[in-house]
Amino acid sequence: MKKKMICLFFCLTILLSFTFTFASSESIKQKYIRDIIGTEVKGNTLIVEKINKRVLEVDTTGKLIWQKTGLNFPSDAERLDNGNTLISEYGSNRIIVIDSTGKIEWEITGISGPQDVERLDNGNTLITETLGSRVFEIDNFNNIIWEFTDLLWPMDAERIDDGNTLICESLASRIIEVDKEGNIIWLISNLSNPVDVERLHDGTTLITEANAGRVIIIDTWGNIVREITGLDSPWDAEYLSNGDILIVEYANERVFQINPDDEIVWEVTGLEGPFDVERLPNIPPSPPDITGPTVGKMFTPLYFNFTSTDPNADRVTYYVIWDDGTTNNWSPWQNSGDSYCENHTWYLPINYTILAKAKDDYGSESEWAKHEIIIPRNKATINWYERLLDRFPILFRMLRNFWTISL
C-alpha cells in the first residue's frame, strides 16, 4: 500500500510538470501570432452609410453590434480610445463626438461641407472642409492650430508620423504632402479623382482613385507597387497589418477585405451609400460565467459549465485552475456564447476556488472568473485520511508545499 501511494504522488508530480510546460509554450505561440497579424485584422468594423444616414458597427459575422441613425449625410467616422465615436456630418456642417448611447459629447458647427475628420495623438482634431477648400487642425476649445487653404475640393487628410499632413486634393487630381510651415514637400499628380490617402509604415502610400476604379500603393517615386482594379467607385481604403486592405465600394454598395493574393476574405453587402470604413481593434472575450455545484463530494466527478462571449464573435478557449495544484490547459475551441463543460474530482476535504479565463482566436484574454466550492469531510473518508496522514505526514507536507509553489 505504501509503495503504491508513493508511486501515485510521483506520477502526479511529473504530470503537473508537463502541464505547466505546455501552458508556457502555448502562450508564446499565441503571442507570436498576435504580433504578426496585429489586433485589427479581425475586430469589429465601423462603417459610414451616407445615404442610409447612419454609422454602424458590425462584428466579424456582419451582425449589427451598434449604430447611430438619423445622421444628416455622415461622411466619416472614427472610434476614439474612450469608446466614443467621432463623426463628420456633412449635411449639418458639423463634427460631433457621441457616446455609446448616441448622446453628443462634443460638437463644432459652421464647417462648410466637412468630409474627413481625424483625432490626432495630441488630442486635437484634423478636419477636411471640402466646400471651404481647406484642411485645418483645431484644439478642444475650437482654436485653429494649423491650416492649409485654397485647395481644390479636398476630400481627405491624414497627419503622418513626422508631423506633415497628407492631403487628397480631388479636383486637382493630386495628393500633396505639406509640412508644418505649409510647404508642399511631396506630391503625386495625374490621379483620377483621388478621394482617400494613407501613408503606410514602409513609406509607401495607399491611394483610392474613385473615377479610375482602383486602389493603388505607390512608392516615394510614384511607382505602383500594388494595384486593385475593376472597382466601381471605390471611396475609402484602409491597410491592415497582415497586408489585407479594407475597401469601400460605393456603387456596389459594399465593403470588403481583400488579401495580398487579391482574394476577398470578408465582406458586408447591401449597404446604402457606404462612404467610409474603419477596422476596430480586437476585443477580448468576457470573463467566463462558471456554473456548477457549490458543494460536492470527494472522489466524485463534479461538472462545471464555462461560458464566455466574444464581442467580435470570435471563437474562445478556456483555461481552468482547480485550486488543488491541477489545471486544465486551453480547451478545444468553442463558438462564442456556447457553454463548455468540464469535470473535476477533488481528493481533500477543504474549500476550493476555481479560476477560469477565456481567450479568443487572436490571443486576447479575458479577466479571471472564479467559483467557490466546498468539499466537506464525510465519515467514509475521514478515517481513511486520518490513517494516511498518520502514516505519511512528511509526504503530505511536501505535496502541499509543491502546490503552493506551483500556484
Q: Give the amino acid at 200.
A: L
User: Of 41 and 320, which CB lies nearer to Ca ion in the complex structure?
Assistant: 41
User: Of 61 and 72, which CB lies nearer to Ca ion in the complex structure?
Assistant: 61
> Using CB atoms within 10 A of its CB, is residue 277 exposed (0-12), middle (13-18) or buried (19+)?
buried
Please tell me the count of residues contacting Ca ion according to CB under 5 A.
Answer: 5
Contacting Ca ion (CB under 5 A), which of 76, 314, 323, 342?
314
Q: How far is the CB of 101 from Ca ion (least distance, A)?
A: 23
Task: Write the CA distances from 351 to 276, 278, 303, 382, 387, integer angstroms.
Answer: 55, 49, 16, 16, 21
> Using CB atoms within 10 A of its CB, is residue 161 exposed (0-12), middle (13-18) or buried (19+)?
exposed
Strand runs labelled E in 160-252: 165-169, 174-178, 184-188, 194-199, 205-209, 214-218, 224-228, 234-239, 245-249
User: Of 252 and 309, which CB lies nearer to Ca ion in the complex structure?
Assistant: 309
Residue 116 touching Ca ion (CB under 5 A): no
Q: Which of 187, 192, 225 is nearest to 206 (CA)?
A: 225
Write out the DSSP string of 353-395: EEEEEEEETTS-B---EEEEEE----HHHHHHHHHHHHH-HHH
User: Of 43 and 273, which CB lies nearer to Ca ion in the complex structure?
Assistant: 43
Stretch that binds Ca ion, among 31-39, 124-132, 311-319, 336-344 (CB under 5 A): 311-319
User: Of 314 and 323, which CB lies nearer to Ca ion in the complex structure?
Assistant: 314
β-bridge pairing 214-218 and 264-268: unpaired
Q: How far is the CB of 42 from Ca ion (least distance, A)?
A: 8
The answer to whether 172 and 150 have CB atoms below 8 angstroms apart is no
Stretch that binds Ca ion, among 151-159, 197-205, 265-273, 357-365 (CB under 5 A): 357-365
Q: Report residue 204 as a C-alpha cell.
A: 509607401
C-alpha 98/C-alpha 96 separation (Å) is 6
Residue 310 touching Ca ion (CB under 5 A): yes
User: Of 39 and 115, which CB lies nearer to Ca ion in the complex structure?
Assistant: 39
Q: How far is the CB of 381 from Ca ion (least distance, A)?
A: 44
Residue 52 touching Ca ion (CB under 5 A): no
C-alpha 308/C-alpha 310 separation (Å) is 7
Contacting Ca ion (CB under 5 A), which of 360, 366, 371, 375?
360
Contacting Ca ion (CB under 5 A), which of 312, 331, 366, 381?
312
Stretch that binds Ca ion, among 111-119, 281-289, 325-333, 393-401 (CB under 5 A): 281-289
Q: How far is the CB of 268 from Ca ion (least distance, A)?
A: 18
User: Of 93 and 312, which CB lies nearer to Ca ion in the complex structure?
Assistant: 312
User: Of 60 and 211, which CB lies nearer to Ca ion in the complex structure?
Assistant: 60
The answer to whether 302 and 344 have CB atoms below 8 angstroms apart is yes
Q: How far is the CB of 229 from Ca ion (least distance, A)?
A: 33
Stretch that binds Ca ion, among 92-100, 180-188, 275-283, 290-298 (CB under 5 A): 275-283
Stretch that binds Ca ion, among 137-145, 156-164, 354-362, 378-386 (CB under 5 A): 354-362
Sign of the C-alpha dihedral computed for residues 280, 34, 361 and 305 taken in this order: negative
Stretch that binds Ca ion, among 177-185, 236-244, 356-364, 389-397 (CB under 5 A): 356-364
User: Of 169 and 360, which CB lies nearer to Ca ion in the complex structure?
Assistant: 360
Place of cell 461622411: 75
Q: How far is the CB of 309 from Ca ion (least distance, A)?
A: 10
Q: How far is the CB of 285 from Ca ion (least distance, A)?
A: 6
Longest dimension (CA), the chain: 93
The answer to whether 328 and 283 have CB atoms below 8 angstroms apart is no
C-alpha 40/C-alpha 34 separation (Å) is 10
Contacting Ca ion (CB under 5 A), which of 39, 282, 307, 381?
282
Q: Which residues bind Ca ion (CB under 5 A)?
A: 282, 310, 312, 314, 360
